[in-house]
């Protein structure tokens, strides 16, 4: 994806992600504002919580579609490795932060940041994974 | 896994980009296979064999096959 020459599947993936990513932010903000200012409780609060996660599922579907449509197995392999690195780094970072919260009363990390953190780690690991094949 | 891709490509005076275009993959994929850092799947190996009109075994060499034969 971070590549000078991109194929059709990659262009579609980027285009779809440009829709899914802002929706994730928008839905999360809308949910936070609704709960904070609308004093939503009970079933509507649960519904809003689920509603805000829908674009995240959408982004996962978009990624799945890309892996399905990408004919170049090497490029598929690069993304899968980057995502595995992203999962590992996110799990490690949240584990460390959780321990710091328990041990030295570090400020609480809102779980809402876990998803963007995952993609940041994926983006950071992608060029590193590519370097292995130079 | 070792392979003769670079030689076969050079014999035909194809660049990595030329081969990539014929295989419908990226140039990075061709480079990774050539340098032995990425082993292609069977379908891609067959595609390579068809393209060069030779068998898969004539392109790829399994480095562990010699050791296995000695054990037997």
Q: Quick one: which of A90, A97, A91, A100 has its CA closest to A124?
A: A90
Output the pTM of the full model: 0.83
Percent of the residues in chain B that have a pLDDT greater than 70, as a whole number: 89
Whole-angstrom distance, CA of residue B35 vs CA of residue B3: 8
* CB interface of B with A, residues 13-42, below 8 Å: 24-29, 31-33, 35, 37-38, 40-41
How many CB pairs lie under 8 A apart between chains A and B?
A: 36
Distance of residue A119 Cα from the nearest chain B Cα, in angstroms: 23
Which of B16, B24, B28, B33 should be substituted to probe chain A, the one whose Cβ sees the most A Cβ atoms within 10 Å?
A: B28
Q: Is the C-alpha dihedral spanning A95, A96, A97, A100 positive or negative?
A: positive
Whole-angstrom distance, CA of residue B72 vs CA of residue B70: 5
In tens digits, chain A (134 residues) has pLDDT values of: 544 568 899 999 999 999 998 998 888 888 888 888 888 888 988 888 888 889 999 999 999 999 999 999 999 999 999 999 999 999 999 999 999 999 999 999 988 889 999 999 999 999 999 999 98
**Quick check: B25 and A74 CB within 8 A?**
yes
Question: Does an H or E element contain A115, and which?
Answer: helix A114-131
Residues of A with CB under 8 A from a CB of B: 3, 5, 7, 71-75, 77, 130, 132-133
Q: What is the ipTM of this complex?
A: 0.83
**Quick check: B33 and A77 CB within 8 A?**
no
């Amino acid at each position: 994806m971070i590549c000078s020459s991109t194929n059709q599947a990659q262009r579609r993936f980027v285009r779809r992600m440009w829709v899914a990513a802002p929706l994730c932010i928008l839905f999360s903000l809308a949910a936070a504002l609704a709960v904070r200012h609308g004093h939503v409780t009970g079933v509507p609060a649960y519904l809003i919580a689920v509603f805000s996660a829908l674009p995240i599922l959408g982004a996962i579907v978009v990624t799945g579609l890309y892996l399905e449509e990408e004919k170049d197995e090497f490029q598929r392999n690069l993304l899968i490795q980057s995502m595995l690195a992203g999962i590992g780094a996110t799990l490690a970072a949240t584990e460390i932060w959780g321990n710091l919260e328990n041990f030295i009363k570090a400020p609480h990390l809102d779980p809402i940041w876990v998803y963007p953190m995952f993609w940041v780690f994926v983006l950071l690991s992608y060029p590193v994974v590519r370097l292995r094949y130079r | 896994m070792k392979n003769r891709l670079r030689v076969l490509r050079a014999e035909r005076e194809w660049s990595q980009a030329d081969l990539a275009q014929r295989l419908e993959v990226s140039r990075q994929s061709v480079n990774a296979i050539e340098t032995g850092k990425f082993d292609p799947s069977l379908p891609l190996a067959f595609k390579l064999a068809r393209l060069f009109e030779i068998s898969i075994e004539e392109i790829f060499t399994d480095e562990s096959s010699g050791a296995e034969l000695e054990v037997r």
